[in-house]
């Protein structure tokens, strides 16, 4: 059975090179080719002699992810369907900065300045964080349609190709921050009631190599490279990273040490696997921590997130309070607002009470709708009121702009949807998940 170079650390590649009877400097050549040049096959490693490539090919592959499908949103977000060797697939999302700040993408970008000034209490939302403006912008984008690009299809329109090329050209002229949202499992077992991924159940964990491979494939496709381009990573795609802890941690380490993305540019989101939160706090290299809160009391949280039965709010918040934060680091709490369920003013006041004294910020996400999800997206005024109550209590709160909602790329929408209809009203009938590999 062949193994994959993606996912191997320096020691493992060094062992492979030793076994092949080759000098030690070949290790660096292989590492550079796989993680920096992002080759997709051993035969492409041009720094190695042809004969060595042929020998290595008998025992290893690169293990690159295959981009099976690609959907481009009107807001520049790209949702990728990534395939692996066993036929399983996950989704990975690219969010270019594009429109003046990414206070909505889960990374620190666009929020640092606000954090510095907002801890003292209530502050009026800036234009970019104004939920009304954000939701209006989203509606306009949804009504303007979207582009679907199938890599393997001869039907791709020249219009799409032109705009894709122009977008890339613009990005190349002025490299700026972008964010990649990565999956850690095929599906998810956590069963959050507002999440489309939960409907898939869990098929399997991704290997460390498959997690890294998603990043490499997107960097290559978008023609960007850290550190010249400022790439943020959020482990917020399909799956619960802390239920695939070892592979997630190894991937994070490889992304820092081999791909060159700083750990401060990575954020991992957990639904609240308390023992892993505690273990994570002790890691030498680790991304920043985000916790999905989504409710202001145990009854509500258990209804929305059944795992709250095992690790309730008291246990979760105790782990958050004990979490060893680095200088200038905050814990992010994510709160998906469900109309009439968890978005009332009393929920906001209760949540503020729960978080009192924690060095944290809250990202508010108005529900991204999807078929099979029975909750409603709250009104604009409700979102703003919730935010203002938190801010009034001295808790920095941000409204995350929906990114790529029109192509099912937004938070909680990742379900390997392959058909995307243009009019929003028509979508519910038309989407269907891909067949299992």
> Token pair for residue 78?
């790209």
Per CB under 6 A, 197 contacts ligand SF4: yes
Please count the other Cβ atoms lying within 10 Å of the Cβ belonging to residue 39. 20
Q: Measured from the CB atom, is 202 or 259 closer to ligand SF4?
A: 202
Whether the link from the prior residue into 420 is cis, omega within 30° of 0, is: no
Catalytic site residues?
91, 411
The region of 23-31, 144-152, 189-197, 211-219 touching ligand SF4 under the rule CB under 6 A is 189-197
Applying the rule CB under 6 A, the residues between 399 and 418 that interact with ligand SF4 are 412
The DSSP annotation for 137-157 comes to HHHHHHHT--EEE-TT-TT--
Q: Measured from the CB atom, is 192 or 364 closer to ligand SF4?
A: 192
Q: Measured from the CB atom, is 42 or 190 closer to ligand SF4?
A: 190
Per CB under 6 A, 332 contacts ligand SF4: no
Please, are residues 303 and 332 in contact by the beta-carbon 8 Å criterion? no
Written in H, E and C, the secondary structure of 55-84 is HHHCCEECCCCEEEEEEECCCCCEEEEEEC
Query: Which of 8, 109, 198, 206 contacts ligand SF4 by CB under 6 A?
Result: 198
The region of 41-49, 153-161, 236-244, 344-352 touching ligand SF4 under the rule CB under 6 A is 236-244
Per CB under 6 A, 188 contacts ligand SF4: yes
**What does the angle CA 141 – CA 142 – CA 147 come to, to the nearest 5 degrees?**
85
Give strand pairing partners of 235: 268
CB of 167 to ligand SF4, least distance (A): 28
Q: Strands 202-205 and 185-187: what pairing?
A: antiparallel
CB of 414 to ligand SF4, least distance (A): 7
Per CB under 6 A, 134 contacts ligand SF4: no
Per CB under 6 A, 240 contacts ligand SF4: yes
The three-class DSSP label of residue 390 is helix
**What does the angle CA 319 – CA 267 – CA 337 come to, to the nearest 5 degrees?**
75
**What does the angle CA 324 – CA 352 – CA 101 come to, to the nearest 5 degrees?**
75
Which residue shows structure tokens 């939302």?
Answer: 125
Give strand pairing partners of 292: 334
Q: Kindly determine how many residues on this chain lie close enough to bind ligand SF4 according to the rule CB under 6 A.
A: 12
The region of 190-198, 219-227, 392-400, 402-410 touching ligand SF4 under the rule CB under 6 A is 190-198
CA distances for 416 relative to 128, 198, 307, 432, angstroms: 30, 12, 24, 8
Per CB under 6 A, 233 contacts ligand SF4: no
Q: Measured from the CB atom, is 171 or 269 closer to ligand SF4?
A: 269
Query: Which of 56, 65, 72, 190 contacts ligand SF4 by CB under 6 A?
Result: 190
Applying the rule CB under 6 A, the residues between 36 and 55 that interact with ligand SF4 are none
Query: End-to-end alpha-carbon separation of the chain, Å?
Result: 20
CB of 213 to ligand SF4, least distance (A): 19
CB of 305 to ligand SF4, least distance (A): 7
Q: Give CA–CA dist 312/305, Å, rounded.
A: 10
CB of 173 to ligand SF4, least distance (A): 36
Q: Measured from the CB atom, is 195 or 216 closer to ligand SF4?
A: 195
Per CB under 6 A, 244 contacts ligand SF4: no
The three-class DSSP label of residue 337 is strand
Per CB under 6 A, 192 contacts ligand SF4: yes
In the complex, which residues of this chain contact ligand SF4 (CB under 6 A)?
Answer: 188, 190-192, 195, 197-198, 238-240, 271, 412
């Amino acid at each position: 059975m062949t193994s994959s170079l993606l996912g191997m650390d320096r020691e493992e590649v060094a062992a492979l090179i030793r076994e092949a009877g080759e000098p030690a400097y070949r290790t660096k050549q292989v590492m550079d080719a796989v993680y920096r040049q992002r080759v997709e096959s051993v035969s492409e490693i041009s720094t190695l002699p042809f004969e060595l490539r042929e020998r290595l090919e008998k025992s290893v592959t690169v293990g690159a992810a295959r981009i099976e499908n690609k959907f481009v949103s009107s807001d520049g977000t790209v949702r990728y369907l990534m395939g692996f060797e066993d036929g399983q697939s996950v989704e990975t999302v690219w969010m270019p900065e594009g429109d003046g700040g990414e206070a909505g993408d889960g990374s620190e970008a666009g929020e640092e300045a606000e954090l510095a000034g907002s801890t003292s209490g209530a502050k009026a939302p800036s234009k970019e964080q104004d939920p009304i403006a954000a939701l209006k912008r989203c509606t306009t984008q949804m009504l303007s349609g979207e582009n679907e690009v199938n890599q393997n299809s001869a039907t791709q329109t020249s219009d799409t190709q032109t705009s894709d090329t122009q977008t890339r050209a613009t990005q190349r002229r002025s490299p700026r921050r972008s964010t990649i949202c990565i999956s850690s499992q095929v599906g998810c077992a956590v069963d959050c009631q507002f999440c489309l991924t939960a409907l898939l159940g869990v098929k399997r964990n991704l290997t460390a190599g498959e997690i890294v491979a998603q990043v490499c494939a997107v960097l290559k496709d978008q023609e960007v490279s850290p550190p010249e381009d400022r790439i943020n990573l959020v482990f917020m795609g399909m799956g619960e990273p802390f239920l695939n802890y070892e592979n997630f941690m190894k991937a994070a380490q490889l992304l820092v040490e081999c791909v060159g993305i700083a750990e401060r540019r990575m954020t991992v989101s957990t639904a609240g696997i308390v023992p892993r939160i505690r273990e994570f706090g002790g890691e030498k290299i680790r991304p920043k921590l985000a916790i999905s809160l989504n409710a202001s009391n145990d009854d509500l949280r258990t209804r929305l997130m059944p795992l709250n039965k095992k690790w309730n709010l008291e246990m979760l918040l105790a782990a958050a309070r004990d979490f060893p934060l680095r200088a200038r680091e905050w814990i992010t709490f994510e709160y998906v607002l469900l109309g009439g369920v968890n978005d009332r003013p009393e929920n906001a006041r209760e949540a503020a009470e729960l978080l009192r004294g924690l060095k944290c910020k809250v990202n508010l996400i108005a529900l991204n709708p999807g078929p099979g999800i029975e909750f409603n997206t709250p009104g604009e005024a409700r979102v703003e009121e919730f935010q203002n109550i938190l801010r009034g209590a001295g808790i920095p709160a941000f409204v995350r702009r929906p990114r790529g909602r029109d192509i099912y790329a937004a938070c909680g929408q990742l379900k390997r949807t392959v058909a995307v209809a243009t009019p929003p009203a028509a979508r519910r009938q038309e989407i269907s998940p891909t067949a299992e590999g």
